[in-house]
Structure 1
Amino acid sequence: MRLAFMGSPGFAVPALRALHAAGHDIAAVYCQPPRPAGRGQRETPCPVHRAALDLGLPVRTPARLKRDAAEHAAFAALGLDAAVVAAYGLILPRAMLDAPRRGCLNIHASLLPRWRGAAPIHAAILAGDAETGITIMRMEEGLDTGPMLLKEAVPIFPATTVQDLHDRLAEAGARLILRALAEDPPGVPQPEERVTYAPKLTKEDGRIDWQDDAAALERRVRALNPWPGTFFTHAGEQVRVLAARPVPGAGPPGTVLDDAALVACGEGTLRLTRLQRPGRAPLDAEAFLRGFSLARGTVLG
């Protein structure tokens, strides 16, 4: 089948590799343009760009699509059976959605209509969902509103981190898009009464509010690391919390209750087990506390 692949981050790479390995004719790979990265701010291609080059596939990196008539015409000229989209990062205009014979198929990392939007993997962990999954949908102009073609559920365990879940969903997406292309299942409309949204995350979403209950804060730590990261402020520094566990107990929210980084929350307490200072290596709490004081009675910001 003649395809375009449209994706940018690591989540999309297993699907691209699976489509190539299955023998599909990938006429073009679309991804975000290279961005400055690292200490030297060198122009760095995204993971899908690098994977496409490894596979010898042609890459296109338009900065925008909405009003680019030349890009619309070039896309239509590819003569596609379908386009596969996975976390591309640009909104496809109607002219491009309509160009492939079987439309544009999106690999979405949730069981739609739950968690439409930009950060569905994080949102599922934050909410304490017992499962999430992959939905293959045929794209429309609305935000993740199109008819569903296939679904596969993926469990969320008590210790699941966002990276664990990301990797499992990426592999599930690769499997499911191959099935969708092979089977061409009919689309099923999404039930609008069950819609929830997962908005784009910001750095401020990682700030720990000690008024929250300990179980919710522990989920936040698992959901938001490595980015945007969860943190509190103390002694003029933003300290990242990389791992924690809820513990029964009580105290004024934000107060350190012992000498081993146990902090009172709005309900329960949170044992901080792995932390990181700015510019330093991550450390288990015992080693961290040898170089950074969180004395009993300290109130954290």
Structure 2
Amino acid sequence: MRVVFMGTPDFSVPVLETLHAEHEIVAVYSQPPRPAGRGKKERPSPVHARALELGLAVRTPVNFKQTETREAFAALGADVAVVVAYGLILPQAILDAPRKGCLNIHASLLPRWRGAAPIHRAIMSGDAATGVCIMQMEAGLDTGPVLLREETTIGASETTGELHDRLSAMGARLIVQALARIDALTPEAQPSEGVTYAQKIDKAEAHVDWTEAAEEVCRKINGLSPFPGAWTEIDGERIKLLRAEVLDSEGAAGTTAEAFVVYCGTGAVRVLEAQREGKRPMPTTELLKGLTLPASLI
């Protein structure tokens, strides 16, 4: 099939690679390069960079408001557009241009966690399972009918980074199946019950409140790992907490014990992986060789 691929972050790259091996990618759309790094030089998105390595044509419009931009898209004569974490709103003219429409790969079990941060929110909310949906796109935010879905269990101490990689691979596999059977699949409307929205992660959410229940603290740590990273302060230094587990133990909220155990409002957590400022992530057994844990983090 003649496919237009539309994506931006790392999550989208395995999907691009899989589609490139199976179909003709007539163009790749990605968000424009952004300033990044210490020098603030413009850096292409992960999808943009990988597409160039694959020898694919890349387009980076700021939006689709211009008639010329819409006409250029329609002129590609695509059979289908595959959209995964693109980050731009597609007007109806774009949704209607490909012969078989636009399909979106969404990393949740719709209608739960529509929106920007479904992987983070699933872990932070303590969901037992999540998955991937292949959805026919329409004007609403992740409201379109679902063609295929697959569920997976969320591990007890699984981080967003780990689940991200698993769901990306799942999405790549499912979209190949969807395109192979596209004329035989029956779109299923999303139910009106169970709708939730995965709001974009605000960095202000990342500060750990040790007076919360251990389960909530643990979900925050694992759900915000590796980015933006939940954090606590030790001797004026911000320490990123990247993996934790819940312990059945009680103590005064914020007080600590050996092996980076911290008591919470109820229960306790053991921090398993953390990162000091300017350093690499490391197991806390290694981190504590150069850092003294105070008696309390409150």
Q: TM-score, normalised by structure 2?
A: 0.94
Equivalent position of 2:94 in the other structure = 96
SS of residue in 1 equivalent to 2:56: coil
| CA distance in structure 2 between the partners assigned to 1:41 and 1:82 by the alignment | 36
Aligned AA (2:5): F
Q: How big is each residue's C-alpha offset from its partner over 1:204-233, in whole Å with a ceiling of 9 and x where there is no partner?
A: 121111122112211221111110101012
| CA distance in structure 1 between the partners assigned to 2:279 and 2:190 by the alignment | 46
In the TM superposition, residue 132 of structure 1 has moved relative to its aligned partner by 0.9
Aligned AA (2:165): D
| CA distance in structure 2 between the partners assigned to 1:175 and 1:273 by the alignment | 32
Structure 2 unaligned spans of 5+? none
In the TM superposition, residue 290 of structure 1 has moved relative to its aligned partner by 3.8
Equivalent position of 2:141 in the other structure = 143
Aligned AA (1:133): G
| CA distance in structure 1 between the partners assigned to 2:209 and 2:258 by the alignment | 21
| CA distance in structure 2 between the partners assigned to 1:286 and 1:267 by the alignment | 24
Equivalent position of 2:124 in the other structure = 126
Matched positions, count: 296
Equivalent position of 2:113 in the other structure = 115
- Structure 1 residue runs of 4+, over 6 Å off? none
| CA distance in structure 1 between the partners assigned to 2:186 and 2:74 by the alignment | 24
Equivalent position of 2:201 in the other structure = 201
| CA distance in structure 1 between the partners assigned to 2:101 and 2:72 by the alignment | 16
Q: How big is each residue's C-alpha offset from its partner over 1:125-181, in whole Å with a ceiling of 9 and x where there is no partner?
A: 112222211100011111100011111112212132212211111111111111111
Counterpart mapping for 1:32-71 below 5 A: 32-65=31-64, 67-71=65-69
| CA distance in structure 2 between the partners assigned to 1:226 and 1:139 by the alignment | 30
| CA distance in structure 2 between the partners assigned to 1:18 and 1:114 by the alignment | 26
| More off after superposition, 287-296 vs 86-95 | 287-296
| CA distance in structure 2 between the partners assigned to 1:161 and 1:18 by the alignment | 24
| More off after superposition, 269-278 vs 217-226 | 269-278
In the alignment, is the contact (CA less than 8 A) between 2:224 and 2:242 conserved in 1?
Answer: no
Equivalent position of 1:2 in the other structure = 2
Q: Does 1:251 align with 2:251?
A: yes
Task: Rate the CA distance shift 1:272–1:140 in 2: closer, same or farther, 3 A.
Answer: same
Q: Does 1:284 align with 2:288?
A: no
In the TM superposition, residue 274 of structure 1 has moved relative to its aligned partner by 2.6
In the TM superposition, residue 116 of structure 1 has moved relative to its aligned partner by 0.6
Q: TM-score, normalised by structure 1?
A: 0.93
Task: Give the alignment's Cα RMSD to 1 decimal.
Answer: 1.6
In the alignment, is the contact (CA less than 8 A) between 2:157 and 2:244 conserved in 1?
Answer: no
In the alignment, is the contact (CA less than 8 A) between 1:205 and 1:228 conserved in 2?
Answer: no
Q: Does 1:160 align with 2:169?
A: no
Equivalent position of 2:20 in the other structure = 20
Task: Rate the CA distance shift 1:58–1:200 in 2: closer, same or farther, 3 A.
Answer: same
Aligned AA (1:254): G
In the TM superposition, residue 37 of structure 1 has moved relative to its aligned partner by 1.9
| CA distance in structure 1 between the partners assigned to 2:273 and 2:167 by the alignment | 26
SS of residue in 1 equivalent to 2:133: strand
| CA distance in structure 2 between the partners assigned to 1:260 and 1:134 by the alignment | 36
Counterpart mapping for 1:222-301 below 5 A: 222-256=222-256, 258-296=257-295, 298=296, 300-301=297-298
